[in-house]
């Protein structure tokens, strides 16, 4: 396998699966699709599952079934024996290798400007950092950067550029930050709480975090407490209008307040507001590297069957409602 500079590997990290981290060759940021780019599935075929997935396959979904078209069904994953030499299918010219294993509940991977690889291990409440020399297929060091966290998920370096001063970590109920210098393998100070009261009781635990291109805004995603807001209670049109005027279009109330949403703060955790709402579990926050537009992958299905709104990736706009 040709040598790959660590700086390029930032775009190569694509998944943390079960107890391993898998690395792809550097990915090219997606360009506007055309019908000539791969297979386009439409109609009923667009609702297929993993069996019809492959590199460059796209799905155009135009018609969704009406609410309650089918009965609710539980369809959780099943654990099966590991096949011989399993590997994801990748486009021609790419290959994938096992980089690290025996991680405990790894959920998110972020690559520092110097190439170090930070992994959030949510269940044990820690951030791990892996270091690999250029072109290496295995890490040369594996350290716990910070521990004692509350189901951490999102990791962000601030400010942007080659020499960030802080590492921000999104816990399930707060945002904290650690002082950081490029190359640190251990936190050089105690966690400073930046946001104290993210909603966290019940429901989705993952909180992702990313900064705007100019560094003035800190985006934090918060998943819903339930499937479709069934515990919120009902309100009349006038009460809803008053609530939205204060909290933003489509913002939920009750136990779903500030949930199923992307919140925005300044880097010090002040000036909190709902940036966008109606996103059941908006994880995988990312900025377009050229335009600075905010995007996320939104989880809709969980284990409730196939006849539901599919998971999707969307641009997240200020003041928008996606419900």
Question: pLDDT by residue (tens digit) across 34-55?
Answer: 445 678 999 888 887 778 888 8
Name the most confidently modeled range: 28-37, 63-72, 288-297, 298-307.
Answer: 288-297
Q: Mean pLDDT across the stretch 190-197?
A: 95
Q: Per-residue pLDDT for 20 more than 50?
A: no
Number of H helices, E strands in the chain: 2, 20
| Cα separation, 213 vs 139, whole angstroms | 30
Count of CB atoms situated within 10 Å of the CB of 109: 21
Residue-by-residue DSSP string for 204-226? -----EEE-TTS--EEEEE--SS
pLDDT at 305: 52
Would the CA dihedral through 127, 133, 139, 144 be positive or negative?
negative
Give residue-wise pLDDT tens across range 134-157: 888 899 999 999 999 999 999 999
| Cα separation, 110 vs 113, whole angstroms | 10
Q: Which position has the token pair 């994880």?
A: 283
74 confidence band (pLDDT: 50, 70, 90): confident
| Cα separation, 132 vs 112, whole angstroms | 12
32 confidence band (pLDDT: 50, 70, 90): very low
pLDDT at 31: 41
Count of CB atoms situated within 10 Å of the CB of 179: 14
* 234 or 73, which is more confident: 234
262, with CB counted inside 10 A (0-12, 13-18, 19+), is buried
């Amino acid at each position: 396998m040709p040598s790959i500079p660590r700086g390029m590997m930032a775009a190569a990290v694509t998944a943390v699966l079960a107890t391993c981290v898998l690395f792809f060759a550097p990915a090219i940021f997606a360009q506007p699709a055309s019908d000539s780019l791969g297979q386009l599935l439409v109609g009923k075929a667009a609702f297929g599952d993993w069996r019809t997935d492959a590199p460059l396959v796209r799905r155009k979904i135009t018609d969704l079934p009406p609410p309650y078209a089918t009965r609710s069904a539980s369809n959780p994953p099943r654990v099966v024996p590991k096949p011989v030499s399993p590997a994801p299918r990748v486009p021609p010219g790419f290959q994938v290798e096992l980089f690290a294993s025996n991680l405990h509940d790894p959920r998110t991977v972020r690559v520092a400007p110097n190439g170090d690889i930070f992994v959030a291990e949510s269940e044990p409440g820690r951030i791990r950092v892996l270091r690999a020399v250029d072109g290496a297929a295995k890490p040369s060091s594996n350290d716990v950067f910070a521990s004692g966290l509350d189901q951490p998920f999102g990791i962000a370096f601030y400010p942007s550029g080659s020499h960030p001063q802080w590492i921000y970590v999104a816990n399930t109920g707060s945002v904290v930050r650690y002082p950081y210098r490029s190359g640190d393998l251990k936190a050089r100070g105690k966690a400073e709480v930046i946001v104290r009261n993210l909603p966290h009781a019940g429901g989705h635990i993952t909180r992702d975090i990313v900064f705007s291109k100019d560094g003035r805004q800190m985006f934090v995603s918060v998943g819903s407490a339930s499937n479709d807001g069934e515990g919120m209670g009902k309100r009349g049109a006038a009460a809803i209008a008053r609530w939205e005027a204060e909290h933003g279009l489509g913002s939920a109330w009750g136990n779903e307040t500030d949930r199923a949403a992307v919140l925005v703060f300044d880097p010090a955790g002040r000036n909190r507001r709902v940036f966008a709402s109606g996103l059941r579990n908006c994880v995988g926050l990312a900025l377009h590297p050229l335009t600075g537009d905010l995007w996320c992958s939104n989880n809709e299905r969980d284990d409730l069957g196939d006849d539901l709104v599919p998971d999707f990736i969307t641009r997240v706009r200020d003041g928008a409602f996606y419900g």
